[in-house]
Amino acid sequence: MQVSVESTSALERRMTVGVPVERIETEVNKRLQQTARRAKVPGFRPGKVPMSVIRQRYEDAARQEALGDLIQATFYEAVVEQKLNPAGAPAVEPKSFEKGKDLEYVATFEVFPEFEVTGFDSIAIERLQADVADSDVDNMLDILRKQNTRFEAVERAAENGDQLNIDFVGKIDGEAFAGGSAKGTQLVLGSGRMIPGFEDALVGVKAGEERVINPTFPEDYQNLDLAGKTAEFTVTVNSVSAPQLPELNDEFFALFGIKEGGLEGFRAEVRKNMERELRQAIKSKVKNQVMDGLLAANPVEVPKALIGNEVNRLRVQAVQQFGGNIKPDQLPAELFEEQAKRRVVLGLIVAEVVKQFDLKPDEARVRELIEEMASAYQEPEQVVAWYYKNDQQMNEVRSVVLEEQVVDTVLQKANVTDKAVSYEDAVKPAEAPKAD
C-alpha cells in the first residue's frame, strides 16, 4: 500500500492511497467464494454452481463491496501509519477504479490540532469568599413564605400586592383587538405582568367596581400593530384579595419535607441547602473564569467537522427544550456556531490539560460529589447506591470531577485573588459581558 499526505491548510490533509490489485482480487475472490456456498442458481444444486457462473452473475456486486470495504480499511491503516488523528469522516475521491489495476483514491479530511496549553500565569481569577449568616437564613425564610403566599378576599380598596380577579375588554379607536379581552383573570397589582400603566390604574378599586383605564403599549411591543398605541380597557373587578403570609409552623415545614425539629430543625435544613448552593455558586464562578482564561491564553484553530457536529447537538437540544413541530436541521446553524466553537475549543483545551498533567479522576472526590448530590434527597443512601450501579452515570460524574481537577490545576498556577462578599453577592448570577 502506497500513501502520500499533503497539508492543504493548518488542519486539512489530502491523503493519496494506492492499493495493489492483488489485494483487491483477493478480497473479490473471497466474496465470490462465500457467495458460491449459498447461491441458488436454476439447474445447479446449492454449493455446486461453477465458479465461472458465479463470477459472471455476482462479480460486479462483489467487486463494489470489496472496493468499499478496502477504502474504509486502508484509510484507517494509512492514518495509523502516518500518525494522523482525523477529526471527522473523510471525503473520498477515486482516482483509479479500473478492473485489473491498482486502486488509487484521495481522502480529504481534517485532523485534530496539536498544541500545548500555556499561559496559566496570565489567568487572573477572583475567588469569592462568603458565609451563610443568620440574617441570610432569615431572608430565605421570608422568601419561602412569600413564595407560599395565600390570598384572602377583603372588602377594602385594592393596594399594590393585592390580587384582583378581573374581566376586561380592550379597544383601540373603538375597535376590539385580538388578545385584548379576558374573563376571570387573576392579577397581582405591582407584578408587572400587564403593560405599563394598566396595574397602576387599578390601585384603589373595590370588588364590584367597573373602571375604564387608558394605558399605552410600549414602542417596542412585540405586536407591531399595537406598539405605541393608547388603548381603552373597561375593567370589571370581581374580587380583591389581600396576601396572607403562612406562619412558620409544622404545617409550613411539612411543605418542604421537614416533619420534626420545629423551627430550629427547619432553619438548620434551610442553612444546609444555602451552604450547598453557596459552594456550587462559588465553584461555578471560579470555573467560568478559569475556562475564559484558558480560551484567551490559548487561541486554537478547530476542525469545521467538530463544530458542525456540536451545532447539530445544540440544534437537537433546542428542539427538545422548546418543542414545537420543527426539525433540528430547520434551525439556522448560525444561531449555534459561536456556542459550538466555544464548546469544541474548551473540550480540546481541557483534554490537553488532562494529558499534559496526566490527570485521572480522584475516586474519593467522585464519592464526595455523589454524596453531596444525594444529600438533597430524602433517602440519600439509595441515591448513592443507584449511582454506583449505573456505569453511564458514574462516567458522567467522573468527567465532572476530572474537569474540577483541571480547574484546580490551573488555580495552582494562575493569579488568584480572594474577595470577601456577602452570601447574596456570591450566589447571584454573574453579569453577562456588555457588547461593544
Q: What is the pLDDT of residues 114-144, one digit of tens each?
A: 999 999 999 999 999 999 999 999 999 999 9
Write down the pLDDT at residue 432: 57
DSSP structure class, residue 249 = S
Residue 219 pLDDT exceeds 50: yes
How big is the chain by its Cα radius of gyration, in Å?
Answer: 34
List of E strands, 279-424: 415-420
Smallest CA-to-CA distance from 13 within 109, 104, 84, 91 is with 109
Angle between helices 21-38 and 51-81 (to 10 degrees): 130
As a whole number of angstroms, the distance between CA 281 and CA 289 comes to 12
The 10s digit of each residue's pLDDT in 204-217 is: 999 999 999 999 99
Residue 419 pLDDT exceeds 90: yes
> Beta strand 91-96 with 150-153: parallel, antiparallel or unpaired?
unpaired
Q: Are 294 and 411 in contact (CB under 8 A)?
A: no
Residue 359 pLDDT exceeds 80: yes
| Tally of CB atoms within 10 A around 366 | 18
DSSP structure class, residue 245 = P
DSSP bridge partners of 171? 176, 232
DSSP bridge partners of 165? 186, 239
DSSP per residue, 65-86: HHHHHHHHHHHHHHHHHTT--B
Helix (H, G, I), strand (E, B) or coil at 91: strand
As a whole number of angstroms, the distance between CA 54 and CA 50 comes to 6
**Using CA of residue 363, residue 364, residue 367, residue 373, what is the dihedral sign?**
negative
C-alpha cell at 144: 419561602
Residue 269 pLDDT exceeds 50: yes
As a whole number of angstroms, the distance between CA 276 and CA 167 comes to 45
Residue 253 pLDDT exceeds 60: yes
Global model pTM greater than 0.85: no
The 10s digit of each residue's pLDDT in 379-402 is: 899 999 999 999 999 999 999 999
The full length of the chain comes to 436
As a whole number of angstroms, the distance between CA 90 and CA 84 comes to 12
